[in-house]
Amino acid sequence: MTTSAPKARRSRVKAEAAVESAAQAVAETVVADKPEAPAPKAVKAEPVPNLPARLAEVLLTDTPEKLAAEEAFVSLDRLVHAQFGKLGSSISPISMALAWGDWAAHLAISPGKQAELVWKSARKAQRLAAEILCQAAGGNGDVCVQPLKQDRRFAGPEWLKYPFSLYSQSFLLTQQWWHNATSDVHGVEEKHEKVVEFYGRQFLDMFSPSNFLPTNPHLIQRTAEEGGRNLARGAQFFYEDTMKRMTGQPEDPPEFTPGHEVAATPGKVVFRNRLIELIQYAPTTPAVHAVPLLIVPAWIMKYYILDLTPPESMIKWLVDQGFSVFCISWKNPDEEDRELGFDDYRELGVMAAIDAISAITGSEKVHGLGYCLGGTLLSVTAAAMARDGDDRLASMTMLAAQVDFTEAGELSLFTNESQLSLLEDMMWEEGYLDKEAMAGTFSMLKSQDLVWSKLVREYMLGERESPSSLGAWSHDATRMPYKMHSEYLRKLFLNNDLADGRMTAGDGHIYLQDIKAPVFAVATEHDHIAPWNSVFKLTYLLHGGVTFALVSGGHNTGIVAPPGSPRAKHRIMTHEPGRNHPAPEDWAKSVPKVQGSWWEPWADWLRATGGAVAGPDKAPPAMGNADAGYKPLQNAPGRYVMTR
């Protein structure tokens, strides 16, 4: 990430101020502690009485001067660490060094593992040589190794022909050998082993034959067909992108603008505070479901992932199905919001929204829907409400949301003490974590698709990515406030406080087991952020009834899968209290997939759950409630979604 000039100047000024403050504080401390010089005497000076006690008092007493000096020293360290974080793309070099050192040291004292790797290397080389000789002689040969199902880099018959089969097969065999080298090394910590395997895979992906013109048959064919014009276009795209990054030029105007092409479902902002805008959507049916629905998106994303262009807009679909829909739009925080913490997001966010919905609709119950970390926040809020005797939640819908983070996928590789301390120092300097840092981390998790394939397509094939509403949303990233980001990373990803019963909300502890509202949980099969096995733990940790749906697709594509999607499939399990829990893999194998979107069975579940507590449908509520202090402020999508 390229640091802009204003940020660089700000960092330099802060560093100089910290050094000056530390020096001044030390000077004042020395002067304050220095005893007055005795007047010159002709006779020999007497020893200072109780000298050890005086030294102890000077060294151990927390005077204001010493406390200022210590704070200045810490500030200087944090500024230096923040610069290291910027240079290293928010990755802790110490964390990586510890992982590689652990792996290398244990491999060095494991002659058996070394011999096994040599043996496997020889076998792979022998198999590859036999295949290439067969193809060189005019035969078809046998494929040594098949790419993983999700690896589409070597799709097509061209990769099975010599010499491209040599390139692809040797790369895949090397990738397979590296996995063997980083797995099952006796004595290596499991997390260190995964870190080494992950970064090793990232390094190997750089040298995939699909990334280079002479070794990629598709690139060679396209270049021949176009006479090299594709490379000229790619060079022009590369120049344009480089100049934008170097000069800080703004991105091109988006083709999908909130309020026009996306986030366009009609509605009103009926409540605003320093953290959220609450949007109430205009009804389109003569009667609505008796219980209103509150959507809590993750604060690391703009809410309109659920309000894309129809028919992909879940919000529009819900409104047309007769639901009274409300949605939180989080403010994109800046430096002034650095002290907003997790409890602020609960109180100023979810609880403030529930209060507003109750006042506007007059309903005693509210359906809650949380997406990703918004679902985690909703579960914390629900547990706190259960503790306090607040039973306004009629149900909870959890979309790709985790409450136990012990198996949080490859994202957990970025959560250890060294890494979190580095991120905290970066956020401490600016007051927030810049959106580019988060975007870079998520890109690394799917580097084949989000980095290398993208570079090949744009700079070698000369093709810009086709604009889409989901793609525009993914580039509309948000920042993370200092205190909030630090708290949720430590409490959830690092310490797993929520699942282990150590989480606090307000004035006391909360427990997931106290939640009695029925839950509909959705997980996606190919989720690289919230693995479905991890989401499945909801069925163990919540003591109420849980309906679990495993759907096709990834973290976003599986959720945004409206009725009519040709590739949408799902399978559903209902777990009632008192029944035994199945293992996730056993359950998945025993239940066949059903063609179609999960939206429709979920809507039926909402109607049944809400109807059981609030009765039949009723007339739509008014937009806002001025008498209760919730006067409509402006048309949706509001102000906060527009901030970048």
DSSP class per residue in 235-269: HHHHHHHHHHHHHTPPPPPPSS-BTTTBS-S-EEE
Instruction: Return all residues near 259 (Cβ < 8 A) that are at least 6 apart.
Output: 635, 636, 637, 642
* Burial of residue 143, with CB atoms counted within 10 A of its CB: 0-12 exposed, 13-18 middle, 19 or more buried: middle
Instruction: Return all residues near 409 (Cβ < 8 A) that are at least 6 apart.
Output: 445, 527, 528, 529, 530, 531, 534
- Return the ∠ at Cα 207 (arms to 201 and 208), rounded to 5°: 85
Instruction: Return all residues near 342 (Cβ < 8 A) that are at least 6 apart.
Output: 377, 380, 484, 487, 488, 491
The band of 429, judged by pLDDT with boundaries at 50, 70 and 90, is: confident
Rg (CA), the chain: 29
CA–CA separation, 599 vs 318, rounded Å? 9
Q: In terms of DSSP bridges, do strands 569-575 and 546-551 run parallel, antiparallel, or are they unpaired?
A: antiparallel
Lowest-confidence region among 287-296, 401-410, 437-446, 509-518: 437-446
CA–CA separation, 147 vs 151, rounded Å? 6
Q: Model pTM? A: 0.84
Tokens 């396209």, residue located:
222
Q: Pick the most confident of 55-69, 149-163, 460-474, 542-556.
A: 542-556
22 vs 564, more confident: 564
| pLDDT score of 581 more than 50 | yes
Q: Which of 134, 144, 327, 372 is catalytic?
A: 372
Mean pLDDT of the chain: 86
| pLDDT score of 29 more than 50 | no
Helix/strand/coil for 110: coil
The band of 613, judged by pLDDT with boundaries at 50, 70 and 90, is: confident
Q: HSE on the CB side for 131, CA within 13 Å?
A: 23
In angstroms, the first-to-last Cα distance of the chain is: 17
Helices assigned H by DSSP within 476-575: 482-488, 497-500, 532-535, 538-541
- Would you give the distance in Å from CA 186 to the centre of its chain? 31
Lowest-confidence region among 5-14, 327-336, 592-601: 5-14
Helix/strand/coil for 635: strand
162 vs 211, more confident: 211
Q: Would residue 372 show up in a list of annotated catalytic residues for this protein?
A: yes
